[in-house]
A and B are shown apart, each in its own frame.
Chain A
Amino acid sequence: MIHWGRGLRACGGSLAGVKPARGPAEGLDEESAAWLRLLVAGGGEQQAAERELHATLLRIALAEVRRRSASTPVTGPELDDVAHQAAADAMLAILAKLGEFRGESRFTTWAYRFVVLEVSSKLGRHYWRNPLVALDDGQWERLPGRLGVDPEGYAEAAGILAEVRRVVEDDLTIHQRRVFVAIVVDGIPLDALAARLGLGRNAIYKVIFDARRKIRHALVVKGYLEEPGLEQ
Chain B
Amino acid sequence: MSDLSGLERFLRTDPRDVGCDEAMTVLHIYVDLVATGQDAAGRYPGVAVHLQACGPCGEDFAGLLSVVTDG
List the interface of chain A (C-beta within 8 A of B): 60, 63-64, 67-68, 71, 104-106, 108-110, 112-113, 116-117, 119-120, 147-150, 152-154, 156-157, 160, 164, 184, 189-191, 200-202, 205-206, 209, 212-213, 215-216, 219, 225, 228, 230-232
Contact = CB atoms under 8 A, between A and B. Distances in A.
B10 A120 contact: no
Contacts of B17: 209
A191 B56 contact: yes
Interface residues on B, range: 35 or more
B11 A219 contact: yes
B56 A190 contact: yes
Contacts of B35: 109
B47 interface: no
Closest 9 CB pairs of A and B: A148-B6, A153-B2, A202-B20, A156-B2, A216-B11, A105-B32, A105-B28, A202-B21, A113-B28
Given A148-B5, A215-B11, A67 B66 contact: yes
B49 to A, nearest CB: 10
B14 A109 contact: no
Interface in B2-29: 2-15, 17, 19-21, 24, 26-29
Contact of B68 (A109, A160, A191, A209): A109
Contacts of B59: 68, 71, 120
